């Protein structure tokens, strides 16, 4: 009998050396040798940050998903007005919204629904 496959999210690192350091830190955290705050600092130092998205890229993600601004906004848990401002370049997504947009761009809208 085969065991079910588990998929871990693909993590990107700034370099191979930082990847190794982060994996060691992750194991130490799992063993209780490193606290959450220290692990967060390792995450910030080692992991590749999410790149900003141009207004055209945000519109392309939405159009690829074949969604109106209202439905797209609902999927991202933001207002329709905010999606409109992102697409016009009046505001830039940040934090969780930027992460969700990057995920939708990379894996498709179904990844966040």
Q: Which of 7, 16, 18, 24 lies closest to 44, judged by CA? A: 18
pLDDT tens for each residue of 38-65: 999 988 888 888 899 999 999 999 999 9
Residues 64 and 96 in one domain: yes
| Same structural domain, 83 and 102 | yes
> Residues 61, 100: one domain?
yes
Whether residue 30 is found in the same domain as residue 71? no
* Residue 106 placed within a domain: yes
Do 68 and 104 have their domain in common?
A: yes
Q: Does 42 share its domain with 66?
A: no
Residue 25 belongs to some domain of the structure: yes
Rounded mean pLDDT of the chain?
90
- Which region among 9-13, 73-77, 96-100 has the lowest average model confidence (pLDDT)? 9-13
Into how many domains does the chain fold?
Answer: 2
Q: Which domain holds residue 83?
A: 55-111
> CATH number, domain at 77?
1.10.260.40
Q: What is the dihedral of CA 33, 9, 84, 66, to 10 degrees?
A: -160
Confidence of residue 10 (pLDDT cuts 50, 70, 90): low
Buried b (16+ CB within 10 A) or exposed e, 82-101: bbebbbeeeeebeeebbebb
Residue 96 pLDDT grade (very low, low, confident, very high; cuts 50, 70, 90): very high
């Amino acid at each position: 009998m085969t065991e079910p496959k588990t998929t871990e999210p693909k993590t990107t690192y700034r370099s191979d050396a930082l990847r190794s350091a982060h994996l060691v830190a992750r194991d130490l955290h799992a063993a209780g040798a490193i606290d959450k705050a220290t692990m967060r600092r390792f995450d910030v130092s080692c992991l590749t940050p999410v790149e900003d998205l141009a207004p055209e890229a945000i519109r392309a993600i939405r159009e690829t998903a074949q969604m109106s601004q209202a439905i797209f906004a609902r999927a991202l848990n933001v207002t329709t007005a905010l999606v409109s401002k992102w697409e016009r370049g009046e505001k830039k997504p940040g934090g969780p919204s930027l992460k969700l947009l990057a995920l939708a761009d990379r894996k498709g809208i179904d990844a966040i629904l």
